[in-house]
Amino acid sequence: MRRKLVVGNWKMNGSLASNASLLSGISEGLAGTTGSGAACAVCVPAPYLAQCQALLSGSQVGYGAQDVSCHAAGAFTGEVAASMLVDFACQYVIVGHSERRAMHAESSALVAKKALAALDAGLTPIACVGETLAEREAEQTYVVVRNQLEAVLALVGDRVAQIVVAYEPVWAIGTGKTATPEMAQEVHARLRAQIAEKNPVECSAVQILYGGSMKPDNAVELMAQPDIDGGLIGGAALKAADFLAIIRAGK
Protein backbone atom coordinates (compact mmCIF):
# COMPACT_ATOMS: atom_id res chain seq x y z
CA MET A 1 0.00 0.00 0.00
CA ARG A 2 1.32 3.43 -0.95
CA ARG A 3 1.94 5.72 2.01
CA LYS A 4 0.15 9.03 1.68
CA LEU A 5 2.20 12.18 1.05
CA VAL A 6 1.14 15.70 1.99
CA VAL A 7 3.22 18.56 0.54
CA GLY A 8 2.74 22.19 1.49
CA ASN A 9 3.27 24.71 -1.30
CA TRP A 10 3.91 28.02 0.43
CA LYS A 11 3.86 29.91 -2.89
CA MET A 12 5.24 33.45 -2.39
CA ASN A 13 4.58 33.63 1.33
CA GLY A 14 6.75 33.64 4.42
CA SER A 15 9.33 35.50 6.47
CA LEU A 16 12.14 34.27 8.66
CA ALA A 17 10.07 34.84 11.79
CA SER A 18 6.78 33.39 10.54
CA ASN A 19 8.55 30.42 8.95
CA ALA A 20 10.28 29.56 12.21
CA SER A 21 6.96 29.60 14.06
CA LEU A 22 5.18 27.55 11.38
CA LEU A 23 7.91 24.92 11.07
CA SER A 24 8.23 24.64 14.83
CA GLY A 25 4.48 24.12 15.14
CA ILE A 26 4.49 21.41 12.47
CA SER A 27 7.52 19.60 13.91
CA GLU A 28 6.17 19.72 17.45
CA GLY A 29 2.77 18.51 16.26
CA LEU A 30 4.39 15.49 14.63
CA ALA A 31 6.55 14.58 17.61
CA GLY A 32 5.95 11.00 18.64
CA THR A 33 3.64 10.25 15.71
CA THR A 34 6.01 8.43 13.36
CA GLY A 35 4.04 6.38 10.83
CA SER A 36 0.61 7.40 12.15
CA GLY A 37 -0.19 9.80 9.32
CA ALA A 38 0.99 10.82 5.89
CA ALA A 39 4.60 11.59 5.09
CA CYS A 40 4.97 15.35 4.72
CA ALA A 41 7.10 18.07 3.21
CA VAL A 42 7.04 21.80 2.52
CA CYS A 43 8.08 23.49 -0.72
CA VAL A 44 9.22 26.99 0.09
CA PRO A 45 10.51 30.11 -1.69
CA ALA A 46 14.18 29.64 -2.59
CA PRO A 47 15.53 32.24 -0.11
CA TYR A 48 14.19 30.13 2.75
CA LEU A 49 15.80 26.83 1.81
CA ALA A 50 18.76 27.48 4.13
CA GLN A 51 16.34 28.07 6.99
CA CYS A 52 14.56 24.80 6.24
CA GLN A 53 17.88 22.98 6.15
CA ALA A 54 18.76 24.38 9.57
CA LEU A 55 15.40 23.75 11.19
CA LEU A 56 14.23 20.53 9.56
CA SER A 57 17.32 18.35 9.29
CA GLY A 58 16.61 15.11 11.12
CA SER A 59 12.91 15.89 11.50
CA GLN A 60 9.87 14.15 10.00
CA VAL A 61 9.29 17.12 7.70
CA GLY A 62 10.89 16.98 4.28
CA TYR A 63 11.36 20.10 2.20
CA GLY A 64 12.03 21.34 -1.28
CA ALA A 65 11.67 24.13 -3.81
CA GLN A 66 8.85 25.45 -5.96
CA ASP A 67 10.68 25.48 -9.28
CA VAL A 68 13.98 24.49 -10.90
CA SER A 69 15.80 25.35 -14.10
CA CYS A 70 16.11 22.81 -16.87
CA HIS A 71 19.69 24.06 -17.33
CA ALA A 72 22.66 22.82 -15.31
CA ALA A 73 24.45 26.22 -15.17
CA GLY A 74 25.18 29.27 -17.25
CA ALA A 75 23.81 32.65 -18.30
CA PHE A 76 20.26 32.18 -17.00
CA THR A 77 19.72 35.13 -14.69
CA GLY A 78 17.21 34.51 -11.95
CA GLU A 79 17.03 30.75 -12.40
CA VAL A 80 18.05 28.11 -9.87
CA ALA A 81 19.82 24.91 -10.92
CA ALA A 82 18.97 21.50 -9.51
CA SER A 83 22.53 21.18 -8.17
CA MET A 84 21.95 24.33 -6.09
CA LEU A 85 18.86 22.77 -4.52
CA VAL A 86 20.93 19.69 -3.71
CA ASP A 87 23.43 21.94 -1.90
CA PHE A 88 20.62 22.71 0.55
CA ALA A 89 19.69 19.03 0.92
CA CYS A 90 16.32 19.46 -0.79
CA GLN A 91 14.31 16.33 -1.44
CA TYR A 92 11.50 17.68 -3.62
CA VAL A 93 10.86 20.30 -6.27
CA ILE A 94 7.55 21.30 -7.83
CA VAL A 95 7.56 21.52 -11.63
CA GLY A 96 4.78 22.71 -13.91
CA HIS A 97 2.54 24.30 -11.28
CA SER A 98 -0.47 25.91 -12.95
CA GLU A 99 0.72 29.35 -11.87
CA ARG A 100 4.05 28.79 -13.61
CA ARG A 101 2.30 27.52 -16.72
CA ALA A 102 -0.08 30.52 -16.79
CA MET A 103 2.14 33.38 -15.60
CA HIS A 104 5.43 32.29 -17.16
CA ALA A 105 4.09 30.52 -20.25
CA GLU A 106 5.77 27.25 -19.32
CA SER A 107 5.05 24.56 -21.88
CA SER A 108 4.62 20.89 -21.10
CA ALA A 109 7.88 20.24 -22.95
CA LEU A 110 9.73 22.63 -20.62
CA VAL A 111 8.07 21.11 -17.56
CA ALA A 112 9.27 17.68 -18.69
CA LYS A 113 12.84 18.97 -19.06
CA LYS A 114 12.68 20.40 -15.55
CA ALA A 115 11.44 17.08 -14.18
CA LEU A 116 14.32 15.30 -15.88
CA ALA A 117 16.86 17.81 -14.54
CA ALA A 118 15.50 17.23 -11.05
CA LEU A 119 15.71 13.45 -11.39
CA ASP A 120 19.25 13.61 -12.73
CA ALA A 121 20.26 15.58 -9.61
CA GLY A 122 18.64 13.07 -7.27
CA LEU A 123 15.59 15.20 -6.47
CA THR A 124 11.98 14.05 -6.56
CA PRO A 125 10.01 16.21 -8.99
CA ILE A 126 6.36 16.85 -8.20
CA ALA A 127 4.98 17.16 -11.72
CA CYS A 128 1.72 19.12 -11.83
CA VAL A 129 -1.07 18.67 -14.34
CA GLY A 130 -4.53 20.19 -14.46
CA GLU A 131 -7.23 21.85 -16.50
CA THR A 132 -8.78 25.31 -16.42
CA LEU A 133 -12.49 25.93 -15.89
CA ALA A 134 -12.94 26.62 -19.62
CA GLU A 135 -11.24 23.32 -20.48
CA ARG A 136 -13.40 21.40 -18.01
CA GLU A 137 -16.58 23.00 -19.29
CA ALA A 138 -15.50 22.07 -22.83
CA GLU A 139 -15.09 18.47 -21.61
CA GLN A 140 -11.38 18.59 -22.38
CA THR A 141 -10.12 17.59 -18.91
CA TYR A 142 -8.71 14.21 -19.91
CA VAL A 143 -7.18 15.48 -23.14
CA VAL A 144 -5.42 18.31 -21.30
CA VAL A 145 -4.06 16.31 -18.37
CA ARG A 146 -3.08 13.39 -20.60
CA ASN A 147 -1.01 15.63 -22.87
CA GLN A 148 0.64 17.35 -19.90
CA LEU A 149 1.59 14.07 -18.26
CA GLU A 150 2.63 12.44 -21.52
CA ALA A 151 5.39 15.01 -22.00
CA VAL A 152 6.87 14.09 -18.61
CA LEU A 153 6.50 10.35 -19.06
CA ALA A 154 8.21 10.47 -22.43
CA LEU A 155 11.36 11.98 -20.90
CA VAL A 156 11.58 10.17 -17.55
CA GLY A 157 11.06 6.75 -19.11
CA ASP A 158 11.60 3.85 -16.75
CA ARG A 159 12.27 6.21 -13.83
CA VAL A 160 8.58 7.00 -13.46
CA ALA A 161 8.45 5.51 -9.95
CA GLN A 162 10.86 8.26 -8.86
CA ILE A 163 8.42 11.07 -9.61
CA VAL A 164 5.31 12.34 -7.87
CA VAL A 165 2.34 13.53 -9.93
CA ALA A 166 -0.04 16.22 -8.68
CA TYR A 167 -3.45 16.78 -10.22
CA GLU A 168 -4.50 20.36 -9.62
CA PRO A 169 -7.75 21.43 -11.30
CA VAL A 170 -6.96 25.10 -11.89
CA TRP A 171 -10.58 26.08 -11.34
CA ALA A 172 -10.42 24.71 -7.78
CA ILE A 173 -7.29 26.56 -6.62
CA GLY A 174 -7.95 29.52 -4.36
CA THR A 175 -11.55 29.80 -5.59
CA GLY A 176 -13.28 27.97 -2.78
CA LYS A 177 -14.45 25.38 -5.31
CA THR A 178 -13.40 21.79 -4.89
CA ALA A 179 -13.87 18.78 -7.10
CA THR A 180 -15.96 16.13 -5.39
CA PRO A 181 -13.93 13.14 -4.20
CA GLU A 182 -15.49 11.12 -7.01
CA MET A 183 -14.54 13.73 -9.64
CA ALA A 184 -10.97 13.87 -8.36
CA GLN A 185 -10.72 10.07 -8.15
CA GLU A 186 -11.82 9.69 -11.76
CA VAL A 187 -8.99 11.91 -13.00
CA HIS A 188 -6.46 10.24 -10.70
CA ALA A 189 -7.51 6.82 -11.98
CA ARG A 190 -7.07 7.97 -15.55
CA LEU A 191 -3.61 9.33 -14.78
CA ARG A 192 -2.59 6.04 -13.18
CA ALA A 193 -3.92 4.13 -16.16
CA GLN A 194 -1.85 6.37 -18.43
CA ILE A 195 1.27 5.61 -16.39
CA ALA A 196 0.42 1.91 -16.63
CA GLU A 197 0.44 2.15 -20.40
CA LYS A 198 4.11 3.16 -20.21
CA ASN A 199 5.17 1.13 -17.20
CA PRO A 200 2.65 -1.40 -15.88
CA VAL A 201 5.08 -2.64 -13.23
CA GLU A 202 5.73 0.75 -11.61
CA CYS A 203 2.33 2.42 -12.01
CA SER A 204 1.03 1.30 -8.64
CA ALA A 205 4.06 2.80 -6.88
CA VAL A 206 3.62 6.33 -8.23
CA GLN A 207 2.08 8.76 -5.74
CA ILE A 208 -0.61 10.96 -7.31
CA LEU A 209 -1.53 13.94 -5.14
CA TYR A 210 -4.64 16.08 -5.28
CA GLY A 211 -3.98 19.81 -5.45
CA GLY A 212 -7.42 21.38 -5.61
CA SER A 213 -8.01 23.17 -2.29
CA MET A 214 -7.62 20.21 0.05
CA LYS A 215 -8.48 21.31 3.58
CA PRO A 216 -8.95 19.66 6.98
CA ASP A 217 -12.70 19.30 6.39
CA ASN A 218 -12.40 17.40 3.11
CA ALA A 219 -9.00 15.70 3.41
CA VAL A 220 -10.25 12.43 4.91
CA GLU A 221 -12.86 11.88 2.20
CA LEU A 222 -10.49 12.82 -0.61
CA MET A 223 -7.64 10.63 0.62
CA ALA A 224 -10.00 7.70 1.13
CA GLN A 225 -10.23 7.42 -2.67
CA PRO A 226 -8.11 4.54 -4.01
CA ASP A 227 -5.96 6.60 -6.36
CA ILE A 228 -5.58 9.79 -4.31
CA ASP A 229 -2.28 9.39 -2.50
CA GLY A 230 -2.17 12.69 -0.64
CA GLY A 231 -2.32 16.38 -1.32
CA LEU A 232 -0.41 19.37 -2.64
CA ILE A 233 -1.63 21.97 -0.17
CA GLY A 234 -1.73 25.74 -0.67
CA GLY A 235 -3.33 28.06 1.87
CA ALA A 236 -3.91 25.39 4.50
CA ALA A 237 -0.15 24.69 4.56
CA LEU A 238 0.47 28.14 6.07
CA LYS A 239 -1.31 27.24 9.31
CA ALA A 240 0.32 24.53 11.41
CA ALA A 241 -2.96 23.25 12.84
CA ASP A 242 -4.58 22.91 9.42
CA PHE A 243 -1.53 21.30 7.84
CA LEU A 244 -1.23 18.83 10.71
CA ALA A 245 -4.92 17.93 10.41
CA ILE A 246 -4.45 17.11 6.73
CA ILE A 247 -1.34 15.05 7.50
CA ARG A 248 -3.28 13.07 10.10
CA ALA A 249 -6.09 12.51 7.61
CA GLY A 250 -3.65 10.48 5.52
CA LYS A 251 -3.32 7.63 8.00
| Mean pLDDT on 12-29 | 97
Share of the chain above pLDDT 90, in %: 86
Residue 177 has pLDDT above 90, yes or no: no
Q: What are the pLDDT digits (tens) for 121-131? A: 999 999 999 99
Domain of residue 239 covers 5-249
Q: What are the pLDDT digits (tens) for 156-165? A: 999 999 999 9
Work out the pLDDT band at 173, boundaries 50, 70, 90.
Answer: confident
Q: What are the pLDDT digits (tens) for 133-149? A: 889 889 999 999 999 99
Mean pLDDT of the chain: 95
Work out the pLDDT band at 179, boundaries 50, 70, 90.
Answer: confident
Residue 1 has pLDDT above 70, yes or no: no
Could you list the active site residues? 97, 168
Indicate which CATH number applies to the domain containing 74.
3.20.20.70
3-state DSSP of the chain: CCCCEEEEECCCCCCHHHHHHHHHHHHHHHCCCCCCCCEEEEEECHHHHHHHHHHHCCCCEEEEECCCCCCCCCCCCCCCCHHHHHHCCCCEEEECCHHHHHHCCCCHHHHHHHHHHHHHCCCEEEEEECCCHHHHHCCCHHHHHHHHHHHHHHHHHHHHHHCEEEECCHHHCCCCCCCCHHHHHHHHHHHHHHHHHHCCCCHHHCEEEECCCCCCCCHHHHHCCCCCCEEEECHHHHCHHHHHHHHHHCC
Q: Count up the domains in the chain and report the number.
A: 1
- Model confidence, pTM: 0.96
Q: What are the pLDDT digits (tens) for 46-97? A: 999 999 999 999 999 999 999 999 999 999 999 999 999 999 999 999 999 9
